[in-house]
Amino acid sequence: MMEKEILVAGGTGDLGGRIIKALMKNGASVRALVRPGADPVVVELLRSSGAKIVEAKLKDKEALVAACAGASCLVSALAGLREVIVDTQSLLLDAAVAAGIPRFIPSDYSTDFTQLPEGENRNFDLRKEFMRMLDEADIKATSIFNGAFSELLNYNIPFLDHKNKTVAYWEKSDWRVDFTSMNDTAAFTAMAALDDDAPRFLRIASFQVSAKEMAAASGYELKDRGTLADLDAYNKIERAAHPEGENELYAKWQQSQYMHSMFSAHNEVLDNERYPGLVWSKLAEYLR
Ligand SMILES: NC(=O)c1ccc[n+]([C@@H]2O[C@H](COP(=O)([O-])OP(=O)(O)OC[C@H]3O[C@@H](n4cnc5c(N)ncnc54)[C@H](OP(=O)(O)O)[C@@H]3O)[C@@H](O)[C@H]2O)c1
């Protein structure tokens, strides 16, 4: 069997770099697609770790198709707003199809937004928009739904606020929220990239925890923050009041939209066991 070569876009980023490491740990050969002007120190790190670097302007279709040639899967770990998630990923998709790459993993790595209506989460709406193009294209796709990165639990998010020693919930104190560490997400994504039979959706979580369980585990006070309908209404008012947030990836109202999504969709059945040997991080690692 020929060794698989995986093309990673966004390898200079946090998750993308971890996906490349995990791919190499599994003996895959990795091509990192970087744009001209990417941080040379980061690019050199990728190169010295064994990744082949291909530099291409993403708007240069010919160069992009050439960069794609021969890869068995394109993994996107790009981060950004419409320009990236819709526009740039579309360029990648077109080039992947033109080059005959059989599989594509979009930069989703999120709550399962297929369960959510449009208009409640701007960043998920952009992913849905790209998903429609991806599903029309002649390529096999796999999206990874990992809930929130567990690392967020280090940043005083309402669900685990170390500063105020509170755990907030909306409507459902028993509702389990999905968390997956970045390394666990990367390790699983690498396996999925090498798995030609991977289905359209893969759902994972390092751990799933309700507000009640989080309060018990942390010893923090449980806070009822009201209904999800009220949170959605609040988010819409805040978004309208802060149009500058339309140009910010993690605007304050966007963060609040993520809270809404966390309490609106979660993974019922997990695919954690699909690839044996993965070790999943634990909630205890994020408690103080
Ligand atoms: N579920 C969660 O809780 C959670 C939390 C955070 C992130 N995520 C998701 O994880 C994925 C990766 O995020 P990350 O935090 O690892 O991102 P990151 O560290 O900011 O890396 C972003 C990558 O995208 C590239 N990029 C940015 N703008 C670009 C553009 N206009 N054209 C081409 N490339 C561009 C960057 O390239 P350069 O190095 O050249 O700039 C970099 O390689 C995203 O889908 C993000 O939404 C999920």
Residue of 284, 281, 285, 277 whose CA lies nearest to 25: 277
Q: Per-residue b/e over 103-120, b at no fewer than 16 CB within 10 Å?
A: bbbbbbbbbbbeebeeeb
Mean pLDDT of 277-288: 94
How far apart CA 66 and CA 63 sit, in angstroms, is 5
Q: 242 to each of 228, 235, 254, 257, how far by Cα in Å?
A: 21, 10, 11, 14
Judge whether 92 lies within some domain: yes
Please write the tens of the pLDDT for every residue from 116-163: 999 999 999 999 999 999 999 999 999 999 999 999 999 999 999 999
- Give a yes or no: residue 243 inside a domain: no
For 26-81, what is each residue's pLDDT tens digit? Answer: 999 999 999 999 999 999 999 999 999 999 999 999 999 999 999 999 999 999 99
Please compute Rg for the chain using Cα positions.
19
Substitution site in 14, 92, 179, 184 for ligand 1 pocket (most atoms within 8 Å of beta carbon):
14
- pLDDT for the residue 2: 58
The count of C-alpha atoms lying within 13 angstroms of the C-alpha of 155, restricted to the half-sphere facing its C-beta, is 7
Does 152 contact ligand 1 (Cβ within 6 A)?
yes
Answer yes or no: is 10 within a domain: yes
Question: Is residue 78 lining ligand 1, measured as CB closer than 6 Å?
Answer: yes
- C-beta 38 within 6 A of ligand 1: yes
Give 189 Cα–ligand 1 centroid separation in angstroms: 15
pLDDT score recorded for residue 225: 98
Answer whether residue 124 is part of any domain.
Answer: yes
Q: What is the pLDDT of residues 184-226, one digit of tens each?
A: 999 999 999 999 999 999 999 999 999 999 999 999 999 999 9
Q: Does ligand 1 come within 6 angstroms of the Cβ of 80?
A: yes
Q: pLDDT value at position 288?
A: 78
CA–CA distance, 188 with 234 (Å, rounded to integer): 35
Domain-located, residue 236:
no
What CATH number is attached to the domain comprising 114? 3.40.50.720
Q: What local confidence, expressed as pLDDT, does residue 39 receive?
A: 97
Within 10 angstroms of residue 22's Cβ, the number of other Cβ atoms is 23
Number of domain units in the chain: 1
Give me the pLDDT at residue 3, please: 76
Domain housing 102: 5-147+180-204+268-273
159 is a domain residue: no
Would 50 be classed as within a structural domain?
Answer: yes
Q: Could you tell me if residue 40 is inside a domain?
A: yes
